[in-house]
Amino acid sequence: MSTLLLARAETTKLARLLGISDTDTLEFLTRLPPDTIRDFREHATDLLFDADTARLAKVAAASRLVPTTISAKIAERAFGPVLCAAVAAAVEPTRAVDIAKALPAPFLAETATRLDPRRTADILTRIPTRLVVDVAHVLALRGDHVTLGRFVGTVGHDAMRAAAAVVTDADLLRIGYLLEDKSTMDTLLSLVDDRLPDIIRAAHDQHLWSEGIDLLDTVAPATRARIGDLAAALGDDILDGLITAVADLNAWDSLLPVTGAMSPDSLAVLAGRPAVHTEPALTAIMDAALDQGLWLDLLPLATHLPAEPLAVIARRVATTPDDELADLIHQADAADLWDALIPLALAMTEPDRRRMAGLPVMQDPEVLATVIATATEHDLWSQALPLVDIALTPETPNAVWDSLVQARDEIPDHLRTLLADRARQLHHHTHADHLDTPSLTD
């Protein structure tokens, strides 16, 4: 996840709390961890709301002494939105809702900018859908995405659905970026699922890729896959816009989990874009994959890369120390991703491939058997043979040779002959004879 994007979102919210109109004034804070900025903002909010708790409680108690309509008039004409927001948490929820019903949407919208959802959740969940929609519409027209983002997940589900219908696709991106509770992103998107293609277009057309990339960090894997597939289907301009934005923000750690979830066809489209093939892009991709635990997300993408970019990836993998390379192999083996790792190994130079094949992990009988099975299932024998041939040693157990014999009908004749020769060199003459002879089922 891009901590820079999170930090920027937090400074935007802090600027609102402090009444700072130019958020760039707080840009220096983005060097801090996002949680630190958030903690400071929440502490400042508590100080503001707790300063006059006793006095506000008296104001709330007084509101119970007059009819609702009169309380609403007093709230609008005497108290104003700032004091109303401060008092709201001290008012009994049902009465607070009744008062809200008697107030105009613009006044409620202004009050909402000052509310603390942590203190007023019991009220917000009771607000009628019609009123939520009216206030959301006013806030959207004002461009107040900070306030809208604070209340997603706090108001009722039906109210959220109705409110989403009155905001634009660009608004939804900005609201998602500024969500107070990022765990509600999937819920929000589920309400506008049919609008996802237009939301992606809005990210491109209105230069909101930062907000879109932040969205990728937040949603569940299935939603990531859907967004990735949609982006690939919407045309080269949109896909190139996404890739360029990811590169500019160095947010490959946000995109790689998407590639790991995309369909093969969509992934092939992404991997074919020239913007992915540049040396800086490939270097940044490998940094994210190796430094941030995204190796298994990289492998499906690497499978679809053309020869030259794949060779760049292979060279970087080959620079890892033996223990790290062995760990990468173990991860790929455990995830059953040999169909992606075999072509990557073939893209290595011969010395690098020999080094990889000579690692103890490659001589593990279970690993070798899996390589053999994968080569057979995916018709990768021409690529797998260099690895298998080097990994076969005098210590290779009979079970591995038996696996080769069982797969012999799937191995091209000239490769099968090479394996038979290797078997004889290692004094496995019976296995060599079997490899030389096709099975009786031919």
DSSP string, 244-310: HHHHHHT-HHHHHHHHTTS-HHHHHHHHT-GGGSSHHHHHHHHHHHHHTT-HHHHHHHHHTS-HHHH
Mark the ranges of the chain whose per-residue pLDDT is less than 70.
1-2, 48-72, 74-75, 78, 439-442
> 3-class secondary structure for 396-436?
CCHHHHHHHHHCHHHCCHHHHHHHHHHHHHCCCHHHHHHHH
End-to-end CA distance of the chain: 53
pTM: 0.78
> Using one digit for the tens of pLDDT, what is the confidence trace for 14-50?
888 888 888 888 889 888 898 899 888 888 877 766 6
Other C-beta atoms closer than 10 Å to the C-beta of 35 total: 12
Q: Which of 321, 241, 255, 324 is nearest to 284 (CA)?
A: 255
Q: How far apart are CA 1 and CA 281, in angstroms?
A: 17
Would you say 171 and 195 are in contact if contact means Cβ atoms under 8 Å apart? no
Domain ranges of the chain: 128-218, 220-319
CA distance 57 to 91: 8
Angle between the N-to-C axes of helices 279-291 and 307-318, in degrees from 0 to 180, rounded to the nearest 10: 40
Enumerate helices (H) and strands (E) in the chain, giving the number of each: 30, 0
Question: Which pLDDT belongs to residue 442?
Answer: 44
Q: In this predicted structure, what is the pLDDT of residue 385?
A: 75
Query: Could you read off the pLDDT of 237-255 as tens digits, one per residue?
Result: 999 999 999 999 899 999 9
- Determine the 3-state secondary structure of 21 from DSSP: coil
